[in-house]
A and B are shown apart, each in its own frame.
Chain A
Amino acid sequence: MTERNQSTLEFSIEESVWLNKGQEVEELYTVDLNPEVTIEEVDDQICIKGYLCLTGEYRCADQTEEETASEESTYLGYRSFSQLNEVSDDVVKLDHRFPVDITLPKNRVLDKDELTVTVDDFNYEMPTPSCIEVFAAVSVSGVYENQGYVSEGFENQESVYENDDVYETREEDDEDDHELYEGGSNPFPILEFESRRSPEPDEHEEEMEYKAERREPQVEFLSRSEERYDYSDAYGHLSDLRNSDTSEYEEEYEEEEEPYRPDEYEYEENDEEYDYEEEIEENDDHEEVESSSHRPPREENALYLTKMLTREDEELTKMKMCIIQAGDSLDSIAGRYDIPASQLMRVNRLESEEIEEGQILYIPVSVR
């Protein structure tokens, strides 16, 4: 054991926090990103769970500015001292949590007390007063390289604004985590994401589970909520799913189309976008078209994930990512997760059944 090299798992996080109307930032006083995690041994896994806490203080933009400006033409005067809000109303606490759920095989960890999660690099931008873009590099140190499997997870959950002035992070449902390693024998490296965005907790959920690969344990997630995208884009994919053999998707996505507001979903990454209409046509033609030939390059899978993660109306997006190890095949992965290989190909937009070590596969998870 001691001769193994110690390595570090690194995650690049690029997230956006959107602030509700009336909570826009006029002046950001402080902002910080800190990990708050617990490390536990569960069977033959080491689970790192908790949050990356984005905290700080800012002064709310004066939303009455425009109103005041328009009122100035008729109203001359100002408020009494007793009518002035307390200063605390003006200075708003920022408290946003990005859930973290990292699972490692025990054989990759010499001593769980050695494990540390650190934010190595943190930066932010504010493209608009209502958006804080967070860029961070997070690393888990105390991990050792070996012949075994590594599983990693990053669970992403967006906070929900339950009311005008309080940020609340919804409780996460971690019950699915363990199913990734059912029986404690699944040695697959797993990255798990979960993203909830809607204030309604009990509405339909949408889960995606991805199997992913293991290369050097360095993964970069792009889940930029601020990226506006065409809803139809995401649902172009979903139309694929509709035609798939998992009927549950049909129900979910049909339900989810209802809250669609076109003006909110304009995806602008031209490089990545593909034509919804085209997808529809494909789907209308034949199912076999889906699983074959002209799929966009694999990178789109990540984009798809991004889109799924960033939809604001999304109830719950759960994804599993599996890092392919030596000796794995598409069939073995499909069997392990009890999912048709064809669906894996579709979801991952694979052109053939060949997969290679280090490749990441996304595995849809059944909704419970």
Chain B
Amino acid sequence: MSMDILELIEKHYPLKPLHWKHKNEVLETDAGTKRVRIWTDERTMTWHFNWREQLESNTLLTDRMIRTLDANWFLPFEDHFLTLHDERYEPFPKHSHEQTWGMLLGKLLSQGIEQPIYENEHFSETREQMVQQYGVDRSDLNIPILNRSLPEAKRRIRTVETIRNRYRHLKIPSLEPSILTHQGKRVHGRLFWQGGNEPPERSMYGLCDFLSDWRLATDTKSMYKLLDAIHDHFPLEGGYDQLLAADLIAPREVQRCVRRLDSTDDHSVSEILDQFEREWESNRTLVEEVCRWIEHRAKKVIR
């Protein structure tokens, strides 16, 4: 299979593959390191193509689909599709570059609202669905530390529901489910953003993950600058800040914990629970800080 891919790339792309760096994923070529992505779903591939194209600018680069010799941006590959992307490794700095990062995230949010998606544009989950989705109904696991958190997790879901109901009129951006800082690389001094290939989701969870990641890598002040910068390109006030807070408040660490518990043996239960507690606390701090930023912005607007 791998041989087939290399031959296919050599045949259709204006470059010469040398060897796999990571088999079937990353390869070295005479034009630099490239990443191969295989898409099973054409709509997902198209969504990813569109945002990459739209974000690309003089100040912001993306890992766009490399065009074939025929100027196509994908190749049919067996029953799927193949695309080729530049791959870079030098991370883009965070400190003092909040504006650039903020621009990237703001644009991701903006195009996430505009880009058509095959799902409802608004949140449609009921509280009961959320309770189930996040595993907040899993008192059957009979783990005290988890059970202890479930009532609070339910309260968090109620908060999420309340906020979503309040801003039901807003379109929810579609984002990749996971956006992390390590996806930003530096190419000729510019931010080069390497996206993923997961189906998009109508939520701001991706941004939540990014903020969490950012805060761990930097500090609160830097995160506030980043939020200010995002706001410059995608106005968060007027509801999106609240929706961001709601998505942060959603008990996703409970969901992760339950999933891990469901798929593990007893030996690692204590580790899973330790991790759960750490994530709970870490996310709580993040919520507090983001909410402080929201309040601060609100005061500035009033003045």
Interface residues in chain A, defined as those with a beta carbon under 8 Å from any beta carbon in chain B: 62, 64-65, 68-69, 72-73, 76-81, 84-87, 90
The answer to whether B147 and A68 have CB atoms under 8 Å apart is no
The answer to whether B291 and A77 have CB atoms under 8 Å apart is yes
- In the complex, 6 of the A-B residue pairs with CB atoms within 8 angstroms, ordered by the A residue number, are A68-B158, A76-B245, A76-B246, A77-B287, A78-B159, A78-B284
The answer to whether A76 and B159 have CB atoms under 8 Å apart is yes
Of A62, A78, A79, the most chain B CB neighbours within 10 A belong to A78
Q: How far in angstroms is the closest Cβ of chain B from A307? A: 39
CA distance A300 to B175 in the complex (A): 71
Other than the given A68-B158, A72-B159, A77-B249, 16 more pairs (CB < 8 A) read A62-B154, A68-B159, A76-B159, A76-B242, A76-B245, A77-B288, A78-B249, A78-B284, A81-B149, A81-B277, A81-B280, A86-B148, A87-B148, A90-B147, A90-B148, A90-B151
- B-chain residues with CB within 8 Å of residue A77 when the two chains form the complex: 249, 284, 287-288, 291
- What is the size, in residues, of chain B's interface with A at 8 Å between Cβ atoms? 25
The answer to whether B152 and A78 have CB atoms under 8 Å apart is yes
CA distance A79 to B277 in the complex (A): 12
The answer to whether A78 and B277 have CB atoms under 8 Å apart is no
CA distance A84 to B147 in the complex (A): 11
CA distance A64 to B159 in the complex (A): 13
Known A76-B287, A77-B284: A69·B158 in contact at CB below 8 Å = yes
- A-chain residues with CB within 8 Å of residue B147 when the two chains form the complex: 87, 90
The answer to whether A69 and B162 have CB atoms under 8 Å apart is yes
Q: How far in angstroms is the closest Cβ of chain A from B230? A: 18
The answer to whether B156 and A78 have CB atoms under 8 Å apart is yes
CA distance A85 to B148 in the complex (A): 7
Tell me the interface secondary structure of chain A in the complex. Answer: loop
Interface residues in chain B, defined as those with a beta carbon under 8 Å from any beta carbon in chain A: 144, 147-149, 151-152, 154-156, 158-159, 162-163, 242, 245-246, 249, 277, 280-281, 284, 287-288, 291, 294
Residue on B with the closest CB to A62? Answer: B151
The answer to whether A72 and B149 have CB atoms under 8 Å apart is no
* Cβ-defined partner of A64 (8 Å) among B155, B163, B246, B291: B155
Residue on A with the closest CB to B277? Answer: A81
Q: How far in angstroms is the closest Cβ of chain B from A165? A: 16
CA distance A160 to B166 in the complex (A): 44
Q: How far in angstroms is the closest Cβ of chain A from B287? A: 5
- B-chain residues with CB within 8 Å of residue A81 when the two chains form the complex: 149, 277, 280-281
Q: How far in angstroms is the closest Cβ of chain B from A85? A: 7
The answer to whether A76 and B148 have CB atoms under 8 Å apart is no
Q: How far in angstroms is the closest Cβ of chain A from B141? A: 12
Residue on B with the closest CB to A60? Answer: B151
Q: How far in angstroms is the closest Cβ of chain B from A24? A: 14
Of A72, A76, A80, A86, the most chain B CB neighbours within 10 A belong to A76
* Cβ-defined partner of A78 (8 Å) among B148, B155, B294: B155
The 5 A-B pairs at the shortest CB distance, nearest first, are namely A72-B162, A76-B291, A87-B148, A76-B245, A87-B147
- A-chain residues with CB within 8 Å of residue B280 when the two chains form the complex: 81
Q: How far in angstroms is the closest Cβ of chain B from A76? A: 5
The answer to whether B158 and A80 have CB atoms under 8 Å apart is no
- B-chain residues with CB within 8 Å of residue A84 when the two chains form the complex: 148-149, 151-152
CA distance A72 to B288 in the complex (A): 14
CA distance A73 to B288 in the complex (A): 15
